Chains A and B, each alone.
Chain A
């Protein structure tokens, strides 16, 4: 026996230990695989020995080899042997190996259950610890089931070392064996108050993970966690708790209210960025809750809003930090805000644009993501210009390609919503074609095609640009690197061919398309070239036959005949086929020409008719002609007994249906014309079909650039720049000039109006042209741009601004009590502009301090009265008014108190215990130049009448500590009690048939706007939704917060609009109609 042991130990002396193995591998860099395979053979030998020390050594080496990527699953049983050694040294190695190599499908795990149980109950805490650690890696459902009780017992072990491990492993057990959760939970909860902070934090971790999966079961723990949160100083634990609360608050809004203080304190006080970031993230997520079905009560919404503002400020600090990580995280969090509060992010545009210059690509990509959501009509050109600069500077194709796709994404999002000038866009696309080595040529091409087809007004310009591109095609094809961009030529050729009537010099373009070099282009592009050369040829013939001299036409034919054979030889079948077809055609035409026959009309008929974009699902809408059964066999199916050699025949026969179907769809000329007419009609009425609207036409005419674009001779020494193309910057400048001009004009008009008003005449102004400007996409007002609500034409799902809109009307009528009229007589120009904005329908009213000697101390924007959606579902009597306070003076404002004189019908909601005339203190102070929003809830008894409420705002100016007062009026229109509610046409019809509704109607004269704008206006201002629309007639529906149905039938003919309305409450209806009338009288 002794000899055997001695022999073993001598053997062992010659064995490699782990260090030897590692060294050996490092010394055999050339033939590592071979060396390792000999090592594995040795290990196999070692594992066969009885000596556990040798085995453990072998297993340790195997663990190392496993990490290098070698399969060691064959040694699983040996690992179990080492695990069950009674010596801690070996046990430790065994468990390590097991945790690295075992997984759920390892068979031998079944054998370990008893061994692990033994180790768990070992008197040595480190044995237990090692077993727990190992178990955390390879626990299976079976192990979890069998050992759940043992681990649960360990949660109350005397040693905290074991307790915390047991608690954490319990989570893994819950996952594998969910039945264990219920019995273990009380003990887990107990651990939240464990005297040892490690165990406590482990319990927090586990409950946090559990709560994330199923928050509502853990609401009852909130008070406990709240206590922990206020007492704990351990940031690791705090972060987990905050995360947990983030999961709980959506279920219990009151919780959010309680959290405000501790969270805000943490945000202010913590120096740990990780904790700050967590708080900020949670607040942002909490703020999202606003939009979710769990609408918190208004006070909470208000508090959340305040915290939210704080967070946005903090994020800005993060982004400005020099630490790249913080910058990145700041941008990441911003993009979360962007989804719900685009405006809050938009005010940081400068900062985000700066991040585009960052040297870190991931930061630039984050910033790009943000930009996508930040564009508006107003800033699109500017942002894209900035991006174009980056495209030029960018190193590395990946980032440049990313930029390119982003530019196109940004511009084309929601049906080109933000593009006001398509000429500019085409120029951008053309500029993008100069990019070297991009693989997004097809993307640019599809954009060019899309815009040229859908925006009729742009075609002349587009065709000119495309012709230049074709002319300079050699610049794109010359370089191998630029292969991707060739795709653009596909679009260019097609556009030039299809809209060839707009070409200035068709002959030149035709020649460009038939150059021998074209044969080097990819086949599908050549095919388009050939086809479109034919279209061009047709147009040319038509032009030239008009002349007396026939030789020109014949020369054109000759050119075609000379050049086309090149394509007939093409290896590409498509090109070959098209070319030979067209060549024959041209030859025939030439023959006719020689006989002096006029052919142009007939040739052009080949390409007559307009190609329209077809929706992907359009085919479904084509009715199957009567008597055609697409599933019926045309020939009897071949019986299976037929011999194989007959099968080709069957295939041939199958092709026949094609022909027969074609015959079916052939419709006579009249029918075609009729359909075309109908389609045109439909397009005219389809708001989603971009057409030559008067506004875009106007923009186009205003741009003087087109005719003056000099077509310069190509300078070949500068190969990459396509000469003669206008720079997109030009449009940015134009746009700026135009805006400037508008501004000046408006100012003038405004002055005039003001004079009139001062003259005491409250008559309404005819501001026709201005109202049209409202809809013109190019229209922009740039005063207080950051806070400006969106213009009418931007129908974004923003909170609508109702009461304020109503506020505007008294101001306009020159109502003596209106807040605006309290302005002092002396007005600085700035104030005037502010005033003017009210007129333009910007729906914002400034209420100004009445003290004429002082600079305006406080601006108060009442910019939206919203109906609290939750409130209306339950009691239908709550209206929320959001007020923005902006401090315009140089002093700190504090102790602001908002008070409204309640009427019988409407009351300001005050906190319990306060009297009916007490003011509500505004829950913030305002440093100079800062603005903030507060919300106030009003309770309404009846909503059938519009309401005006008088109110005052008192505040103290800090330094002078004088009390100031500000009077204002709140105007609640009936429309603000309506909620946009969708309604299906059948439900709508039922409603009308029911006979419960009272009828009323109104006529509007001189409404000069497209029908869909008119509808959009009603939808936007008065919260209706369109139920159905047929031509120039539409039915609309809305519901009041108290459940009144309001139905409208809007018809238009010429400039007259008639609205027939039905509602179950005649007074409400009358008022709503009056308001609609007013909306349109103002434009």
Chain B
């Protein structure tokens, strides 16, 4: 299973973190530090896999953003790369030509999309369409909520 997913910028600024197992805050900070230093130190055009403790780290850079995924030892590295890529595709579809700023300013949306794609460290849905539909439906629901809220505000 997948242990965690981190998104960070070229400067090492964290943009998203998702932990699929319960880890203490201190431990999280240490892992984040290790990951950013390790991944950022890699030369361009090298392979995307690293070994770290008993985990395999799979990272990939999209524009200025690094996606870094940790999987357990028996998992398939190439499928992990696919997971990263699929997530990027989903973000791209949702935001339309996604960039780092989209993720910074709508970070909760990035989480919601991820939650529809992965759950508990396993792939939940491999179909892009179904994930997108679920996100759209939830967003619709949310908008419905908001308009209701405004009504309350105005006529309460």
Contacts and interface: CB of A to CB of B under 8 A. Distances in A.
Contacts, number: 160
A274 B82 contact: yes
Contacts of B23: 103
A164 B48 CA distance: 31
Given A67-B14, A324-B45, A198 B119 contact: no
Interface string A80-93: 00000001111011
Nearest to A63: B108
B1 to A, nearest CB: 6
B97 interface: no
A668 B148 CA distance: 105
A277 B146 CA distance: 49
Interface in A124-163: 124, 126, 129-130, 132-133, 136-138, 161
A342 to B, nearest CB: 22
A212 B156 CA distance: 57
Interface in B1-42: 1, 14-17, 19-20, 22-25, 29
Contact of B47 (A22, A88, A278, A328): A328
Q: Max chain A CB contacts within 10 Å: which of B46, B77, B115, B141?
A: B115
Contacts of A71: 25
Contact of A22 (B1, B105, B149, B156): B105
B45 A360 contact: yes
Contacts of A132: 119
B78 A273 contact: yes
Given A324-B45, A360-B46, A169 B145 contact: no
Contacts of A22: 104-105
Given A87-B145, A132-B119, A325 B77 contact: yes
Interface string B75-96: 0111101100000000000000
A1025 interface: no
Given A103-B24, A133-B115, A172-B120, A325 B125 contact: no
A532 B136 CA distance: 82
Given A198-B130, A324-B47, A92 B107 contact: no
A592 interface: no
A168 B142 contact: no
A202 B124 contact: yes
A417 interface: no
B64 interface: no
How extensive is the interface on chain A, given as a class?
35 or more
Main secondary structure of the interface of A (DSSP, over half): helix
B46 A92 contact: no
Given A132-B119, A360-B47, A274 B108 contact: no
Contact of B105 (A9, A19, A237): A19
Contacts of B112: 92, 96
A276 to B, nearest CB: 9
Interface string B98-125: 0000001101100110010001101111
A605 B43 CA distance: 61
Interface string B43-64: 1011111100000000000000
A202 B47 contact: no
Given A71-B25, A92-B142, A274-B79, A164 B20 contact: no
Contacts of B24: 103
A236 B149 contact: no
A87 B76 CA distance: 40
A890 interface: no
Contacts of B81: 274, 325
B14 A362 contact: no
Interface of A: 1-2, 5-6, 9, 18-19, 22, 53, 60, 63-64, 67-69, 71, 73, 87-90, 92-93, 96, 99-100, 103-104, 124, 126, 129-130, 132-133, 136-138, 161, 164-165, 168-169, 171-172, 197-198, 201-202, 205-206, 209, 212, 234-237, 239, 243, 273-274, 277-278, 281, 324-325, 327-329, 359-363
Enumerate the 3 nearest inter-chain pairs by beta-carbon distance, A residue then B residue, closest first. A274-B78, A136-B120, A324-B47
Given A73-B25, A201-B123, A324-B46, 13 more contacts: A64-B107, A88-B138, A89-B145, A96-B115, A104-B22, A168-B120, A171-B120, A205-B122, A243-B76, A277-B78, A278-B76, A324-B48, A360-B46
15 contacts: A19-B105, A22-B104, A67-B14, A73-B25, A87-B149, A136-B120, A165-B124, A168-B122, A169-B120, A236-B123, A236-B126, A274-B81, A325-B48, A328-B47, A362-B47
